[in-house]
Amino acid sequence: MERERRMKPDILDRIVIRMGDITQVEADAVVNAANSTLLGGGGVDGMIHWAAGSGLLEECRAIGWCPTGEARITGAYNLPARHVIHTVGPVYGVDGEDSPRLLASCYENSLALAAENGVRTVSFPAISCGAYGYPVREACRIALDTTLRFLGSHDLPEKVIFVLYSLRDYEAYREYYGEKRVEREEETE
Ligand code: AR6
């Protein structure tokens, strides 16, 4: 048991936080911050559809509506990935008290779809932190806590890459990740 624990990589080591454009990041699956129509839009959704090509839109149209907090999987077409996982984040202020639960569901459902589809590496943008107005400091806690909980009980995905488009978002994620590392070190002391 002790040996097994030592051989397993620490769940924090299965998380990567970086800046960049998610459409350029190679991963088995890329998560899209979509809206319920799944028909594309602005922000990262617009860039993913633009980079993937029209096949993605056709596949999304066939799927139809996706409720807030849920996720759907498609091919990735011209993106450097095998799948796109579309999830619909809450609109901060409109979804009210349900927002944290719905945002956590986005991560949980996306990770579950990734695991079911044999995804080893998956990249996430900061869901809801753009047009949907979620404060990144609150959102990154939900993103990291939910992901760590999921990774703690699943071998797949092996690696989760958070790709942040702005320095402000990147720093918020790094700061909270740093807190988690300190907590972890204190636990193992
Ligand atoms: N790579 C990584 N992150 C990005 C990229 C990129 N290429 N482009 C933007 N971001 P948003 P939401 C970041 O607005 O808040 C769309 O119109 C951005 O800086 O894309 O969930 C949909 O169709 C921000 O931190 O998604 C929906 O209608 C984060 O991605 C609505 O917007 C999310 O910003 C969804 O809003």
| Cβ atoms < 10 Å from Cβ of 174 | 16
| CA proximity to 127, closest of 94, 89, 160, 97 | 89
Residue-wise pLDDT for 35-58, tens only, equals 999 999 999 999 999 999 999 999
Q: What is the pTM of this model?
A: 0.95
The reported pLDDT for the residue numbered 9 is 66
Q: In the predicted model, is pLDDT for residue 4 greater than 50?
A: no
Q: In the predicted model, is pLDDT for residue 121 greater than 70?
A: yes
- The whole-chain average pLDDT of the chain stands at 95
Q: Using an 8 Å Cβ cutoff, are 37 and 30 in contact?
A: no
Question: What share of the chain has pLDDT > 90, as a percent?
Answer: 90
The reported pLDDT for the residue numbered 99 is 97
Q: Which CATH class is domain 2-188?
A: alpha beta
Residue nearest to atom 9 of ligand 1 (CA): 44
Q: Where do the DSSP E strands lie in 54-172? A: 71-75, 83-88, 121-124, 159-164
Distance between Cα 184 and ligand 1 center (Å): 31
For residues 60 and 66, give the distance between their C-alpha atoms in angstroms, rounded to a whole number: 10
Distance between Cα 189 and ligand 1 center (Å): 39
Check if 45 has its Cβ closer than 6 Å to any atom of ligand 1: yes
Which residue of 22, 38, 44, 164 sits with most ligand 1 atoms within 8 Å of its CB, as the best mutation to test the pocket?
44
Check if 24 has its Cβ closer than 6 Å to any atom of ligand 1: no
Domain boundaries, the chain: 2-188
| CA proximity to 96, closest of 134, 63, 42, 147 | 134
One-character DSSP codes across 22-83: GGG---SEEEEEE-TT-S--SHHHHHHHHHH-HHHHHHHHHH----TT-EEEEE-TTSSSSE
Residues belonging to the active site: 45
Distance between Cα 1 and ligand 1 center (Å): 42
Check if 130 has its Cβ closer than 6 Å to any atom of ligand 1: yes
